[in-house]
Amino acid sequence: MAGSSYGKLFQITTWGESHGKALGVVIDGCPAGLPLCEADIQVFLDRRKPGKTKISTPRKEADEVEILSGVFEGKTTGTPISLIVHNTSQRSADYSEIANYYRPGHADYTFDAKYGFRDYRGGGRSSARETIGRVAAGAIASKILETLGIKLTAYTRSIGPIAIDDTKFDFQALAETPTCMPDYEASKKAEAYLEDCMKNYDSAGGVIECKIEGCPAGIGEPVFDKLDANLSKAIMSIGAVKAVEIGDGTQVASRRGSENNDAFTIKDGNVTKVTNHAGGILGGISDGSTILLRAHVKPTPSIFSPQQTVNKQGENIEVSIKGRHDPVVVPRAVVVVEAMTAITILDSLLVNMSSRMENLSKVYKNK
């Protein structure tokens, strides 16, 4: 397996290149009986679409999803759901030049090193368009999680040096700002920062955060398939991510135990925690409090200022990337982080169903 599948029971397999005929995903293991239509998925895909504002690429990508299988009379059948998005706006001419050299910060060189050659059009398989399949599958996972009372919220924490103010967290801002920041003021500043980047033919990075509320305690496997381990893989598998944090993340390393431990307490008859430095996961298993993760995203490698690199003939050359590129990928990657998180949480919930003898009785004796 060349690693285009993810998930143990809710398994997704993505396929497609940036400038091929289409991109898509096959979801195997979606429980039967979920009401599902294309609009449920399209709303997620629209969140990753470019071309909405001046801070994203002017490329128009229709990215309309079509359900090819696995849904009958408006409900999932339990068999594979095949989703397809046709490529429509790709201009291959933009990319023909890069066939012969290796763009810094891109996977051109490593694909050649691995496979001997590559589909160079728009990055081919290494293009961020691959995430279309992830987002489409994530829409379905999210819909199932909702039925169990589990709610995900992903948003931009920072772009370049501009971060949100947690005390001003505003869901409407999250829905409306082009940055996906839940803070109008920070978003304005970030937009100004991005305009400055663009003016300088440069690009920016940032931080995405995702909260999972309502996840029951007891989800995740205690050793290699820890919930945080699986989340880390899911998030780090997104193109430009270079670091993943759970809960207080990097901050824990310089703390003392007395500062970092979360005291347990009884609240309304339930076990709960006074603080949540752990980010909702203890020993790889959810503890019932809010799960929190953060992804650190590098600046878009495609910049218009001249760069040193090499060509396939082994010569040092200087290049200036052309084409239509986002000055920052963070806002469009927010829904990708949310999707990968949803898929991971759902898969863990499904795997966990068989963890206790009493769950077997619930399913097989009630039938």
Candidate residues 177, 290, 309, 341; the one interacting with its own copies per rule CB under 8 A: 309
Strand 162-163 vs strand 71-72: parallel, antiparallel, or unpaired?
A: unpaired
d(CA 163, CA 243): 17
Q: Applying CB under 8 A, does 245 fall inside the site for its own copies?
A: yes
Structure token digits, residue 53: 């504002």
Candidate residues 63, 119, 183, 209; the one interacting with its own copies per rule CB under 8 A: 119
d(CA 203, CA 293): 24
For residues 174 and 293, which CB has a smaller minimum distance to its own copies in the complex?
293
User: Can you tell me which residue has the tokens 């396939």?
Assistant: 312
Q: Applying CB under 8 A, does 29 fall inside the site for its own copies?
A: yes
Q: Applying CB under 8 A, does 40 fall inside the site for its own copies?
A: no
d(CA 58, CA 28): 35
Q: Applying CB under 8 A, does 138 fall inside the site for its own copies?
A: no
The 8-class DSSP code of residue 220 comes to: S
- Beta-carbon contacts of 131 under 8 Å, excluding residues fewer than 6 positions away, are 48, 238, 239, 333, 336, 339
d(CA 124, CA 96): 12
**Least distance between its own copies and beta carbon 335 (Å):** 17
**Least distance between its own copies and beta carbon 294 (Å):** 8
Task: Of 105, 59, 54, 56, give the one whose Cα is nearest residue 331.
Answer: 56
Q: Applying CB under 8 A, does 308 fall inside the site for its own copies?
A: yes
Within positions 48 to 77, which residues make up the interface with its own copies, using CB under 8 A?
Answer: 66, 68-70, 72-73, 75, 77
Candidate residues 42, 109, 151, 276; the one interacting with its own copies per rule CB under 8 A: 109
Q: Check if the beta carbon of residue 43 is closer than 8 Å to that of residue 83.
A: no
CA distances from 213 to 94, 207, 288, 289, 342 (A): 43, 20, 9, 7, 11
Q: Applying CB under 8 A, does 5 fall inside the site for its own copies?
A: yes
Q: Applying CB under 8 A, does 144 fall inside the site for its own copies?
A: yes
Q: Applying CB under 8 A, does 132 fall inside the site for its own copies?
A: no
Q: Applying CB under 8 A, does 199 fall inside the site for its own copies?
A: no
Distance of alpha carbon 99 from the chain centroid: 28
Q: How many CB atoms lie within 10 A of CB 221?
A: 17
Candidate residues 7, 50, 122, 138; the one interacting with its own copies per rule CB under 8 A: 7
For residues 115 and 171, which CB has a smaller minimum distance to its own copies in the complex?
115
Q: Applying CB under 8 A, does 289 fall inside the site for its own copies?
A: no
Candidate residues 44, 48, 50, 102; the one interacting with its own copies per rule CB under 8 A: 102
Q: Applying CB under 8 A, does 96 fall inside the site for its own copies?
A: no
CA dihedral 46, 131, 100, 59 (to 10 degrees): 0
Of 45-53, 90-98, 170-178, 300-308: span binding its own copies (CB under 8 A): 300-308
Of 45-53, 79-87, 172-180, 183-191: span binding its own copies (CB under 8 A): 79-87
d(CA 38, CA 35): 11
Q: Applying CB under 8 A, does 288 fall inside the site for its own copies?
A: yes
Q: Applying CB under 8 A, does 219 fall inside the site for its own copies?
A: yes
Within positions 267 to 286, which residues make up the interface with its own copies, using CB under 8 A?
Answer: 269, 271, 274, 278-279, 281-286
